[in-house]
């Protein structure tokens, strides 16, 4: 599985039923039971009557096995040759140099040559297993993305409508400004500035409210991987995207305002 070995050694073929019981533990196991001490050479046991039955010979890096949602549990790896009596099933992990799906037939043939009566079931690639455990999260992510895009479009349409209405209400004023010497650039900047001020205020209030409300959404953190609920980059990207959308929504009525004919505007009621 290419889980890095941090201390000691791994399990070998010599660790069979005749050899002393040994195990490789993970970092969570070492921290939970030995603190900052070096666990190599320490002993433990699963049987209360044999508390020192197993010697620790290595420490491996923490890893998750069943689901990305699970926290890393203290784990001990043992040689299957030393725990054969307790085995009810076995899971084989096969690393391939090509498409894993193309190797299934060869794996079945190899198992058949060992024991034709040995059942082989539930064959899945590592990618398939990861996809299955994240299916619900990905569905929620797609739905939330869709709702977010809809909300963004509604905000843009609303901002455009407000700015278009403001421009129509200020047509007389804009005409007077242009008649007194204001050029198109001045009018464009005036309209865009007004819209962006509203946008910046709205984004600031929204980000502050979102930052406060995240502490009430801790139950959703199990659906986040590699990002915190208050991730600063996420907040920054959202603010930038909303700002760009708002700028585009302001530019259309602003450009329309620059095309106002001063004579027409002065007669406008």
Give the confidence band of 58 by pLDDT, cuts at 50, 70, 90. very high
33 and 74 within one domain:
yes
139 and 255 within one domain:
yes
150 and 123 within one domain:
no
Residue 9 is predicted with a pLDDT of: 94
Name the nearest CA neighbour of 77 among 53, 93, 59: 59
pLDDT digits (tens, 9 = 90+) for 59-99: 999 998 777 777 889 999 999 889 888 888 888 888 888 88
Mean pLDDT (whole number) for 164-180: 74
Neighbours of 133 (CB within 10 A): 15
Supply 118's token pair.
Answer: 């040995």
Between 177 and 78, name the one with better pLDDT.
78
115 and 61 within one domain:
yes
Number of domains in the chain: 2
Res 53 pLDDT > 70: yes
Q: Which of 94, 129, 164 marks a domain boundary?
A: 129
57 and 179 within one domain:
no
E strands along 13-149, which residues? Answer: 22-26, 43-44, 54-60, 76-77
Q: Which of 68, 101, 129 marks a domain boundary?
A: 129
151 and 113 within one domain:
no
Residue 226 is predicted with a pLDDT of: 62
Q: Which domain holds residue 175?
A: 134-266
Give the confidence band of 26 by pLDDT, cuts at 50, 70, 90. very high
Q: Which of 108, 129, 150 marks a domain boundary?
A: 129
167 and 99 within one domain:
no
Longest Cα separation, the chain:
104
107 and 166 within one domain:
no
106 and 210 within one domain:
no
Res 220 pLDDT > 60: no
Mean pLDDT (whole number) for 103-112: 86
pTM of the model: 0.54
pLDDT digits (tens, 9 = 90+) for 141-164: 889 889 988 987 887 788 778 777
Concatenating the DSSP letter of every residue in 202-240 gives HHHHHHHHHHHHGGGGGGGGGG-SS--TT-HHHHHHHHH
86 and 40 within one domain:
yes
233 and 117 within one domain:
no
Give the confidence band of 221 by pLDDT, cuts at 50, 70, 90. low
162 and 120 within one domain:
no
Question: Average per-residue pLDDT in the chain?
Answer: 82
Q: Which of 3-7, 151-155, 192-196, 248-252 has the highest mean pLDDT?
A: 3-7
CB contact at 8 A, 3 and 95: no
DSSP state, residue 7: E
Mean pLDDT (whole number) for 29-38: 92
């Amino acid at each position: 599985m290419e889980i890095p070995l941090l201390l000691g050694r791994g399990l070998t073929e010599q660790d069979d039923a005749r050899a002393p019981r040994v195990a490789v533990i993970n970092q969570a196991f070492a921290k939970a039971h030995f603190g900052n001490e070096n666990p190599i050479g320490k002993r433990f046991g699963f049987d209360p009557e044999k508390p020192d039955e197993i010697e620790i010979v290595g420490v491996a890096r923490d890893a998750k096995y069943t689901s990305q949602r699970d926290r890393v549990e203290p784990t001990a790896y043992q040689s299957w040759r030393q725990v054969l009596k307790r085995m009810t099933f076995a899971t084989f992990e096969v690393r391939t140099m090509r498409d894993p799906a193309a190797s299934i037939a060869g794996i079945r043939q190899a198992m058949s040559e060992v024991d034709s009566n040995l059942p082989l079931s539930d064959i899945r690639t590592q990618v398939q297993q990861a996809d299955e455990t994240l299916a619900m999260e990905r569905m929620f992510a797609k739905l939330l993305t869709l709702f977010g895009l809809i909300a963004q479009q509604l905000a843009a349409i609303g901002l455009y409508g407000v700015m278009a209405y403001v421009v129509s209400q200020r047509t007389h004023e804009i005409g007077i400004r242009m008649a007194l010497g204001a050029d198109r650039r001045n009018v464009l900047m005036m309209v865009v500035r007004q819209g962006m001020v509203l946008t910046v205020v709205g984004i600031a209030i929204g980000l502050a409210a979102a930052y406060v409300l995240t502490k009430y959404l801790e139950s959703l953190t199990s659906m986040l991987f590699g990002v915190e609920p208050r991730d600063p980059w996420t907040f920054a990207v959202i603010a930038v995207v909303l700002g760009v959308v708002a700028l585009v929504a302001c530019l259309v009525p602003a450009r329309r305002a620059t095309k106002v004919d001063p004579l027409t505007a002065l007669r406008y009621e």
